Amino acid sequence: MPAYFLMTFLTGLQAAWILIHFIGLTAAWVVRMHFGHRSEGLAQVVFLGCLPLIALATVVGQQLCLSIWPLSAATLATMIVLATADFSSRRSTIARFEAGN
């Protein structure tokens, strides 16, 4: 019976790990898509809530010598780039700036 419990527990942890990373990447994408909209604040709250979870997953994975920790680091880096990079064209950025947005 303990082996079944351990396997179920590990499967749950793996599912949670995947879910946290998926939500983090989705939140980063949603922040970019909702830039300038009313829902931008909610998207930022979800993103900023996921960011420390991914960072924690990266540090814990590295400290426990898990071979999968670089995926957490890649997710963290991708989230940061998605949230900070400007993917719009220069012309639309200038027009938005001149319009006061």
Residues ≥6 apart with Cβ < 8 Å to 68: 61
pLDDT over 60 at 1, yes or no: no
Amino acid found at 61: G
**Predicted confidence band of residue 63 (pLDDT cuts 50, 70, 90):** confident
pLDDT at position 77: 92
> Using CA atoms, how far apart are residues 69 and 63, in angstroms rounded to an integer?
9
26-46: per-residue pLDDT in tens? Answer: 988 888 888 778 888 888 898
**Predicted confidence band of residue 4 (pLDDT cuts 50, 70, 90):** low
Which range is least confidently modeled, 11-20, 31-40, 49-58, 84-93? 84-93
Helix %, strand %, coil % of the chain (to 5): 80, 0, 20
pLDDT at position 100: 58
- Enter the pTM of the model: 0.68
Cβ atoms of residues 72 and 21 within 8 Å:
yes
